[in-house]
Structure 1
Amino acid sequence: MAAFAEVGLMPELIRAVEDLGWMLPTPIQSESVPLILGGGDIMAAAETGSGKTGAFALPILQIVHEALRKSASAGKGVSQSNGSSQQNVRCQLNVQDRDAVFAISPDGLRCQSRAPQSWAGCRATVGVFAGKVYYEAKVTDEGLCRIGWSTQASKLDGLGFDAQSFGYGGTGKKSHKRRFDDYGELYGLGDTIGCMFDSETMQVSYSKNGQDLGVAFSVTQNLQGQVFYPTICLKNAEMAVNFGETAFEYDPPPGFVGIAKAPPSTTATAMDPPRSAHGGERRPLCIILEPARDLAEQTHDCITDFGKYLKAPTVANALFVGGVDAKAQARALREGVDIVTGTPGRITDFINSGKLSVDKVRFFVLDEADRLLDTGNQPAIMQLFRQFPKSGKGMDRLQVLMFSATLHSEEVKQLSSQICQNPIVIDLKGKGSVPDTVDHVIVRADPHEDRTWLQTAPKVPTDNVHVLDSIGPNVSTKECYSEAVKRLKPRILRRIIDAHKMDQCLIFCRTNFDCDNLETFLNQLGGGQGFRGRREHGKENPYSCAVLAGARNMHERRMALECFKAGEVRFLICTDVAARGIDIRELPYVINMTLPDRSEDYIHRVGRVGRADTMGLAISIVSTVPEKVWYCSVKGYRPWLEPDAENTRTNKEGGHTVWYDESQYLKDIEARIGHPIDTLGPDMSLPASIQARSTVAYGQQRGGGDTSQAAEHMQQIRQSVEQLARLEWEAQTSFLTLGRKFGTAR
């Protein structure tokens, strides 16, 4: 295991990978682990099954463990004690807690934002959780202004848009949770607005040019004990602020003091852990985002497996996804969590409710980054990023790590330019890569040539797109042939399964409804009632199947995947939700019932086979005629359940369908992988070109799975690797010694 020591892993984690049977770091691990340990931002693209999770989980666990160990030895816990830095921090606008277009003067008391179409905001360096405090903000140039109070969980560019912030705008409106109600009066150039927060009555009030405008908000009790910071939000405007270090233009109301002069026992700085009723000083050091619950569970389990080797102290990690008990997740936060893995929605909910603090986060990981953006998570990602501390330097600064099978979309590049600092790009396989352990073949579904679609048995349920169209042997419309393809493809699937005597295969369908229909068809062939979240014993049914799709509940999805991996069902029918990051070892076959309309999704699908140097076969059933399919853009609407003359029209005609051209999608995929795809024979046998070069059964390692040669090679290079590791250790020790001597090392 000297090779893992060479990339910088500590002995405990080397033992972890050794127990997993890893002999050498994968290429993505060799490239990424040292860079992460060195403190850099990275964008890493590698093929599926290449060990990406280990590439970020292992170094993060090591750094988190070192931080915990250092804090424990210093007797300080994970965080600084409350108020430890208060005396050294002036109350001013915080350059580390602002939007990028929000400018602050050197003294921290004047600000402007010249973006004409968008809001930008900033919080102060000091907040309050007790007492009565006041500050002033004066409009020094025309524009739109909004001032008030917010917690660190609130969006900067939307003061009053969420439950964690309270604002008063120049249009004479007060704002909270996106409600804009009349309050006070308009204000503009030359006006001075006083901002009051009374933690005893939990009320927010304002004044204009010394005139009290009355109570604007009564803060809800669930926010009691939260730290509220003075907050300014501008659109093409400028303001000057006074937090009380100098005389106010107008005297505060009786009992109120400038926040800069408030007792340290009632205030906190942006560097302190937030003081809240939720307690607990052990706050997350790492946030890992996944696009789906299944992937989050898988990453969390991987971190748990690695982390159990780390002792004194242990590393606490928690999973935050929907569909599970939120009370258990909240309890984990109270007990202390170091690494949080979850989906954007659930993590954002916990932050907005004040239960999850991110003020100590040092790692922000976007796994399957392109998929995160495809599913509309960019606003949540940016909201999270704005709340992370960014004032650290060197090894203590925020690190952003973006991992995916592909990182080449414009959306990903744009996001990285906003959240990464000079990221190092690790692109091991390139934009169009697929493992060379995957063979690709197609079967053409031609309803003109193959007339078995006219058979009445076995019955094939379809998606109801053509229930109003004329279908039959003497009909030659495109609608008839579209329906014919829907009836033909499951029959072709059966022939493929029988010809190859498949015991395990992942089958991709386009929609949840397509998955349901194929499940019904296979269950009908097998004569069984089907799998619905129940374990099956053995595979007596040659067509036993389970469904992994977004429409199934979490228990059903988890059980389906677990039983498929355990060999208790032969076929796992899924949508693209399973194409990202689901790790199924030694999977021999993937079948595409319908080609995806994006070539990159084909790459992700077929990446489920050919992993860890095992051979895999990807089979696609491709229609030779256009197929009409559902494409509904109305969330929650299911037109396939009640098709009619309106909803079966195409999108251009005002309906919810499109014409799907698989022949064109096939051309795009062939261009992506760089060669034409061969066709299975009439008896579904492999083409001669594949038979000639393939000597290994699908699902087995290339070379027959004999590891003796690899073991012999490891023995040969062990001495050299150990020597390199020793030289590396000596070089680093020498560097640190010289650094301490000359005062340059941290």
Structure 2
Amino acid sequence: MSFISLGLSPALLKALEDQNFTIPTPIQQTAIPAILNKKDVLGIAKTGSGKTASYVLPLLMNLQQTPAVKNRHADVLVLVPTRELAEQVKDVFHTFSQSLPERVKTLAVYGGVSINPQMMAMQGVNVLVATPGRLLELVDSNAVHLSSIETLVLDEADKMLNLGFKEEVNRIIALLPEKRQNILFSATLNNDIQHIHQLMLHEPVVIQIEAEEESLELINQVAYIVSDEKKGPFLRYLINHHAMKQVLIFASSVQQTDAIVNKLRKNNFDAKAIHSKKSQGARTEMLSHFKSGKLRILVATDLMARGIDINDLPFVINYELPRSPKDYIHRIGRTGRAGTMGDAISLVSQNELHHFEVIQKKMGKKVDLIDSENINISIKST
């Protein structure tokens, strides 16, 4: 099946071609036609299945037939659990909307930053991507009105509810017009998702993509006890000691990825960071260079690394542990693929030891834990 058969416009097909999208994923094959036909959709699929494009593309096309928005009245509302995902979704809308004849303005709003610039930018917004708490602050300030929303998207609904946004989501739904299109994506179908499903979806098209189990058989795992202040030097030691020509490093935040890269580059390592603050073009170029071997070291957040699939990636390093054991398994699963052995190395500080025990228990596999104090790392950086 090709994107041409899904009913997308020539402008969007050209944008897909420019971004090297050739074959729709299983969720895109079903979701795109359903959303184009204004159906409600319930999609159960893990992150990395192509779900963002599966709603961005048809919603952009539908917006081309929508009259101009009233001031501070968006047409599409996308609720997401984190600022990183808000920026990521906004970037996907921006990437594909540039080729359209009719202008589509997308704005991402979230907490942790000043609300005033977001209030000022609200004029003329077609697509509003928001975390629930900040959206309600904007509503309470009369900076945005939800009475004209034609389509509501709940992306990563399970994570949103796990983070305690249930009351906020219910309040937001109560502010929306009763007649609207609803799209809900979740990695799991638990009781909370069933509640939201029953509350907002009308005769939905249900799409359930079975997640492939990550195989750990081809992954050599090892962990080192390293204090936080020594993680940087020890990371550089590992890269040199193992003569790593291609390594993916995971960090917990945008700020941490930049800090790691700055230190690596000061020590003459070829490294770049990939995160939600980078432009879509920069991220695409970095991934291309990393996959082809032109870039030696890529430092990523969990959200940005979802699309990194390299059959023979030799090394993955956890500079910090992720919050979720599932995210740990997803991280190390970037190596040891397609019949090729890989190495996954974790740097574990003293205050992470208990969490690492939980990860091992959930994974059902014991990992060798080595005290880095017994290792001489005084090797010149290359």
Give the TM-score of the pair, scaled to structure 1.
Answer: 0.41
Deviations 1:607-649 (A, max 9, x none): 76799x99895715498xxx8627xxxxxxxxxxxxxxxxxxx
CA, structure 1 residues 371+506, in 2 after alignment: closer, same or farther (shift >3 Å)?
A: farther
Out of 197, 200, 222, the residue aligned to residue 443 of structure 1 is 222
Find the aligned partners of 1:442 and 1:62 in 2 and give their Cα distance: 46
Out of 340, 353, 359, the residue aligned to residue 665 of structure 1 is 359
Correspondences of 1:20-419 after superposition (within 5 Å):
20-68=19-67, 77-78=68-69, 280-281=70-71, 283-311=73-101, 313-322=102-111, 326-334=115-123, 336-390=124-178, 392=179, 398-404=180-186, 406-419=187-200
1:17 has 2:16 as partner: yes
Find the aligned partners of 1:329 and 1:438 in 2 and give their Cα distance: 47
Deviations 1:54-88 (A, max 9, x none): 111011111121223xxxxxxxx55xxxxxxxxxx
**SS of 1:401 mapped into structure 2:** strand
Find the aligned partners of 2:197 and 2:343 in 1 and give their Cα distance: 33
**SS of 1:23 mapped into structure 2:** coil
**Where is the strand percentage greater, Structure 1 or Structure 2?**
1
**SS of 1:660 mapped into structure 2:** helix
1:590 has 2:316 as partner: yes
Find the aligned partners of 1:618 and 1:40 in 2 and give their Cα distance: 45
Find the aligned partners of 1:292 and 1:610 in 2 and give their Cα distance: 30
CA positional deviation for 1:495: 3.6
Find the aligned partners of 1:489 and 1:54 in 2 and give their Cα distance: 36
Which residue in the other structure is 2:268 paired with? 541
Q: Which moved more, 1:2-11 or 1:52-61?
A: 2-11
CA, structure 1 residues 610+66, in 2 after alignment: closer, same or farther (shift >3 Å)?
A: farther
Which residue in the other structure is 2:250 paired with? 507
Q: State percent identity of aligned pairs.
A: 25
Q: Give me the CA root mean square deviation.
A: 4.4
Find the aligned partners of 1:606 and 1:502 in 2 and give their Cα distance: 17
CA, structure 1 residues 609+356, in 2 after alignment: closer, same or farther (shift >3 Å)?
A: farther
Deviations 1:565-585 (A, max 9, x none): 67788352x7xxx32355564
Find the aligned partners of 2:82 and 2:368 in 1 and give their Cα distance: 34
Deviations 1:655-711 (A, max 9, x none): xxxx716455324224xxxxx69989xxxxxxxxxxxxxxxxxxxxxxxxxxxxxxx
Find the aligned partners of 1:490 and 1:408 in 2 and give their Cα distance: 43
Find the aligned partners of 2:339 and 2:33 in 1 and give their Cα distance: 27
Out of 328, 334, 337, the residue aligned to residue 602 of structure 1 is 328
Which residue in the other structure is 2:379 paired with? none
CA positional deviation for 1:374: 2.7
CA, structure 1 residues 512+63, in 2 after alignment: closer, same or farther (shift >3 Å)?
A: closer
- Gapped regions of structure 1 (runs ≥ 5): 69-76, 79-279, 393-397, 446-452, 454-459, 464-486, 524-528, 549-553, 631-658, 671-675, 681-746
Out of 335, 340, 351, the residue aligned to residue 629 of structure 1 is 351
Find the aligned partners of 2:144 and 2:231 in 1 and give their Cα distance: 52
Correspondences of 1:336-735 after superposition (within 5 Å):
336-390=124-178, 392=179, 398-404=180-186, 406-430=187-211, 433-434=212-213, 439-443=218-222, 461-462=227-228, 491=234, 494-495=237-238, 498-499=241-242, 501-508=244-251, 530=263, 541-542=268-269, 570=297, 572=299, 578-580=301-303, 582=305, 585=308, 588=313, 589-592=315-318, 598-606=324-332, 617=342, 619-621=344-346, 629=351, 660=354, 662-663=356-357, 665-670=359-364
Q: Is the 8 A contact 2:302 2:331 kept in 1?
A: yes
**SS of 1:530 mapped into structure 2:** helix
**SS of 2:47 mapped into structure 1:** coil
CA, structure 1 residues 505+666, in 2 after alignment: closer, same or farther (shift >3 Å)?
A: same
The one-letter code matched in structure 2 to 1:295 is L
CA, structure 1 residues 602+411, in 2 after alignment: closer, same or farther (shift >3 Å)?
A: farther
**SS of 1:284 mapped into structure 2:** coil
**SS of 1:333 mapped into structure 2:** coil
Find the aligned partners of 1:411 and 1:287 in 2 and give their Cα distance: 20
Of the two structures, which has the highest relative contact order with CA contacts closer than 8 Å and spacing of 6 or more? 2
Find the aligned partners of 1:610 and 1:36 in 2 and give their Cα distance: 37
**SS of 1:283 mapped into structure 2:** coil
Which residue in the other structure is 1:651 paired with? none
Give the TM-score of the pair, scaled to structure 2.
Answer: 0.74
CA, structure 1 residues 48+494, in 2 after alignment: closer, same or farther (shift >3 Å)?
A: farther
Find the aligned partners of 1:413 and 1:603 in 2 and give their Cα distance: 26
The one-letter code matched in structure 1 to 2:351 is V
CA positional deviation for 1:286: 0.6
Q: Is the 8 A contact 1:7 1:34 kept in 2?
A: yes
Deviations 1:339-360 (A, max 9, x none): 1113223222211111211111
CA positional deviation for 1:438: 10
Which residue in the other structure is 1:728 paired with? none
Find the aligned partners of 1:540 and 1:488 in 2 and give their Cα distance: 14
Find the aligned partners of 1:677 and 1:496 in 2 and give their Cα distance: 24
CA, structure 1 residues 441+303, in 2 after alignment: closer, same or farther (shift >3 Å)?
A: same
Find the aligned partners of 1:610 and 1:342 in 2 and give their Cα distance: 36
**SS of 2:351 mapped into structure 1:** strand
Count of residues paired in the alignment: 358
Deviations 1:210-263 (A, max 9, x none): xxxxxxxxxxxxxxxxxxxxxxxxxxxxxxxxxxxxxxxxxxxxxxxxxxxxxx
CA, structure 1 residues 388+373, in 2 after alignment: closer, same or farther (shift >3 Å)?
A: same
CA positional deviation for 1:546: 6.4
Deviations 1:303-350 (A, max 9, x none): 111112221x3222222234666454434433x221111322322221
Find the aligned partners of 2:71 and 2:145 in 1 and give their Cα distance: 10
CA, structure 1 residues 362+590, in 2 after alignment: closer, same or farther (shift >3 Å)?
A: farther
CA, structure 1 residues 615+380, in 2 after alignment: closer, same or farther (shift >3 Å)?
A: farther
Find the aligned partners of 1:9 and 1:614 in 2 and give their Cα distance: 37
**SS of 1:355 mapped into structure 2:** coil
**SS of 2:269 mapped into structure 1:** coil
Find the aligned partners of 2:22 and 2:91 in 1 and give their Cα distance: 21
CA, structure 1 residues 15+543, in 2 after alignment: closer, same or farther (shift >3 Å)?
A: closer
CA, structure 1 residues 590+403, in 2 after alignment: closer, same or farther (shift >3 Å)?
A: farther
Which residue in the other structure is 2:375 paired with? none
Find the aligned partners of 2:333 and 2:9 in 1 and give their Cα distance: 31
Q: Is the 8 A contact 1:586 1:614 kept in 2?
A: no
CA, structure 1 residues 409+569, in 2 after alignment: closer, same or farther (shift >3 Å)?
A: farther
Find the aligned partners of 2:77 and 2:270 in 1 and give their Cα distance: 41
CA positional deviation for 1:402: 2.1
- Gapped regions of structure 2 (runs ≥ 5): 370-382
Find the aligned partners of 1:350 and 1:616 in 2 and give their Cα distance: 50
Which residue in the other structure is 1:727 paired with? none
CA, structure 1 residues 355+607, in 2 after alignment: closer, same or farther (shift >3 Å)?
A: farther
Q: Is the 8 A contact 1:489 1:621 kept in 2?
A: no
**SS of 2:263 mapped into structure 1:** coil
Find the aligned partners of 2:49 and 2:336 in 1 and give their Cα distance: 10
Deviations 1:258-312 (A, max 9, x none): xxxxxxxxxxxxxxxxxxxxxx45731111122222221221111111112221x
